[in-house]
């Protein structure tokens, strides 16, 4: 029976990966875009086959309800099916499918043994975890957990000016119902780092999220003619931006490897004409560290970087902080519960931090939460080459099923 489920998991994962597949072996399923829409439809059908009832909430979170007793609250098993552009197959998608299979295995167990669970199960595909098309990331779980206003989220626009509200209306997901009441939450995800690969352990017990400081910078210069504006008269916003981008990256050389990640990733410029000096450039700055002291010091250095860039480029640079959190621990009871499971199953494991944010980052502030990792080959993620072996995928589903079992039976 387990053998069948394992085979079926790998087959389902192949089928899932065909939705929004790219020629490079990855997927492109940005939130509410073509690949995501197709995949959500596919997943709705899978959930129904597995015995779930499917509903949505107003921000587009997709729920697969396995209701054993209408009087009981739900244990949530979730992650996200949306992806970055030209992304890998595993990020988010692995965890959602693992949740669906864990729930179906447990429903089968309940059906055959007659054992009475103390919780129902709901498989959750959170809307727009990636945030590449619509900011902010982790949108669906942020609205669910009350950290983001529904109306604010619905008004977020992509670079083409389409709002989340319009994108969701077009998708016409239904039925839209009040989200189920969730009493515990569990998520499994690919590590997107190299720690498990290095140690050879198959499961990571996530104990905390790295701290982060995120900013939106706007460089204001002056539009002018490329050829005829003298160098001394220029207020070139793209030059100002390039000075900051180069310095932000070099900033990490001042720290030990693994102490600070600093990145600039998204940038827009006006007017973006080949013969006109840019009047305005906007870009994000993303600082991450397990240490609040490192983040504070990096943020101060960022201010110095900005002053120097303003001075050299004769521009003015506005800095707006968009996100701010320090090292953020996961609930200890969740870590201990999953440690008990991996010890019982005899699966190699270790405690681990996550640098990336996950929907569980929101859920853990609401309810008792478990977060698990499986290994990522070479730590590659947000890239078509992302890979986790079938053996590691299946070990993860096995552990995740038993974690869910502990959550509904005790």
The secondary element (H helix, E strand) that includes residue 76 is: strand 74-79
Question: CA-CA-CA-CA torsion for 154, 157, 158, 162, nearest 10 degrees?
Answer: 80
Q: Does 212 sit near a copy of itself (CB under 8 A)? A: yes
Residue with tokens 């994962």: 13
**Options 124, 219, 264, 298; binder of a copy of itself; rule CB under 8 A:** 264
Contact letters (x/-) for a copy of itself, 2-41, by CB under 8 A?
Answer: ----------------------------------------
The answer to whether 377 touches 390, Cβ cutoff 8 Å, is no
In this complex, which beta carbon is closest to a copy of itself, that of residue 115 or of residue 312?
312
Strand, helix or coil for residue 226: coil
Rule CB under 8 A: choose which of 382, 396, 400, 401 binds a copy of itself.
382
Residue 363 as a binder of a copy of itself (CB under 8 A): the answer is no
Q: Please identify which residue in 218, 296, 379, 409 interacts with a copy of itself, judged by CB under 8 A.
A: 379
Q: Which stretch binds a copy of itself (CB under 8 A): 118-126, 130-138, 330-338, 395-403?
A: 130-138
Residue 243 engages a copy of itself in binding (rule: CB under 8 A)? yes
- 162 lies in the site for a copy of itself, by CB under 8 A: no
Identity of the residue, 23 or 410, whose beta carbon is nearer to a copy of itself in the bound complex: 23
Asked whether position 254 contacts a copy of itself by CB under 8 A, the answer is: no
Residue 91 to residue 119: CA distance in whole angstroms: 28
Q: Which of 96, 145, 146, 105 is nearest to 124 (CA)?
A: 96
The verdict on 388 binding a copy of itself (CB under 8 A) reads: no
Q: Which of 355, 366, 367, 406 is close enough to bind a copy of itself by CB under 8 A?
A: 355
Contact (Cβ atoms closer than 8 angstroms) between residue 119 and residue 69: no
The residue (of 42 and 325) whose beta carbon lies closer to a copy of itself is 325
Looking at beta carbons only, is 77 or 260 nearer to a copy of itself? 260
Element (H, E) at 10: helix 2-17
Tokens encoding 201? 């352990």
Nearest Cα neighbor of 409 from 188, 101, 203, 184 is 184
How many residues make contact with a copy of itself (CB under 8 A)? 73
Q: Give the nearest distance from C-beta 30 to a copy of itself in angstroms.
A: 8
**Can residue 194 be called a binding residue for a copy of itself (CB under 8 A)?**
yes
Q: Which stretch binds a copy of itself (CB under 8 A): 57-65, 119-127, 171-179, 190-198?
A: 190-198
Give the side-chain half-sphere CA count within 13 A for 157. 4
Which CB, 72 or 380, lies closer to a copy of itself?
380
Nearer to a copy of itself, 180 or 357 (CB): 357
Q: What distance in Å separates the CA atoms of residue 399 and residue 401, rounded to the nearest whole number?
A: 5
Please give the distance of CA 186 from its chain centroid, rounded to a whole number: 14
Q: Give the x-and-dash track for 305-344 against a copy of itself (CB under 8 A).
A: ----------------------------------------
Query: Is position 232 an interface residue for a copy of itself (rule: CB under 8 A)?
Result: yes
Binder of a copy of itself out of 227, 320, 346, 410 (CB under 8 A): 227
- 257 in contact with a copy of itself (CB under 8 A): yes
Name every residue whose Cβ is closer than 8 Å to that of residue 126 and which is 6 or more positions away in sequence.
61, 78, 79, 80, 138, 139, 140, 141, 144, 359
Give Rg (Cα) of the chain. 23
Strands (E), 134-246: 182-190, 203-209, 211-220, 224-225
Q: Which stretch binds a copy of itself (CB under 8 A): 74-82, 116-124, 240-248, 332-340?
A: 240-248
Q: How far is the CB of 16 from a copy of itself (least distance, A)?
A: 20
Q: Which residues pair with 324 in a beta bridge?
A: 213
Answer for the pair 355, 289: CB distance below 8 angstroms, yes or no. Answer: no
Nearest approach in angstroms of CB 160 to a copy of itself is: 9
Find the shortest distance in angstroms from Cβ 363 to a copy of itself: 18
**Lookup: tokens for 64:** 């697969």
Q: Does 357 bind a copy of itself (CB under 8 A)?
A: yes
List alpha helices for 156-263, DSSP H.
Answer: 164-171, 195-199, 237-251
Q: Which of 58, 236, 359, 402 binds a copy of itself (CB under 8 A)?
A: 236
* Contact in structure between 114 and 223 (CB atoms under 8 Å): no
Under the criterion CB under 8 A, does residue 224 sit at the interface with a copy of itself?
yes
């Amino acid at each position: 029976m387990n053998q069948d489920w394992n085979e079926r998991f790998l087959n389902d994962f192949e089928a899932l990966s065909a939705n929004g597949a790219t020629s490079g072996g990855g997927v492109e399923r940005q939130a509410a875009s073509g690949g995501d829409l197709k995949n959500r439809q596919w997943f709705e059908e899978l959930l129904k086959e597995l015995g779930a009832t499917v509903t949505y909430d107003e921000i587009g979170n997709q729920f697969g309800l396995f209701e054993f007793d209408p009087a009981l609250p739900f244990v949530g098993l979730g992650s996200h099916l949306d992806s970055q552009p030209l992304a890998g197959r595993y990020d988010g998608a692995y965890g959602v499918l693992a949740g669906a299979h864990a729930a179906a295995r447990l429903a089968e167990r309940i059906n055959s043994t007659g054992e009475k669970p103390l919780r129902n199960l709901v498989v959750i595909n959170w809307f727009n975890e990636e945030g590449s098309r619509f900011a902010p990331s982790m949108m669906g779980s942020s609205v669910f957990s009350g950290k983001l206003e529904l109306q604010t989220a619905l008004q977020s626009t992509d670079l083409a000016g389409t709002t989340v509200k319009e994108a969701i209306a077009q998708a016409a997901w239904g039925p839209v119902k009040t989200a189920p009441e969730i009493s515990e939450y569990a998520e499994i995800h690919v590590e997107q780092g190299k720690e498990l690969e290095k140690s050879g352990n198959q499961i990571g017990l996530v104990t905390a999220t790295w701290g982060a400081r995120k900013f939106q910078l706007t460089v204001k210069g002056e539009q002018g003619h490329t050829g005829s504006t003298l160098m001394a008269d220029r207020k070139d916003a793209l030059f100002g931006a390039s000075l900051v981008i180069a310095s932000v990256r070099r900033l990490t050389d001042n720290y030990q490897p693994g102490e600070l990640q600093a990145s600039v990733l998204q940038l827009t410029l006006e007017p973006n004409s080949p013969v006109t000096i840019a009047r305005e450039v906007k870009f994000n700055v993303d600082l991450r560290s397990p240490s609040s002291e490192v983040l504070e010091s990096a943020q101060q250095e960022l201010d110095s970087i900005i002053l120097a860039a303003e001075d050299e480029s004769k521009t003015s640079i506005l800095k707006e902080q968009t996100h701010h959190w320090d090292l953020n621990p996961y609930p200890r009871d969740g870590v201990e519960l999953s440690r008990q499971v991996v010890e019982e199953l005899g699966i190699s494991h270790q405690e681990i931090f996550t640098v990336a944010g996950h929907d569980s980052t929101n859920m853990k502030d609401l309810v008792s939460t478990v977060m698990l990792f499986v290994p990522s080959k070479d730590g590659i993620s947000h890239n078509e080459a992302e890979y986790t072996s079938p053996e590691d995928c299946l070990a993860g589903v096995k552990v995740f099923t038993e974690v869910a079992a502990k959550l509904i039976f005790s």
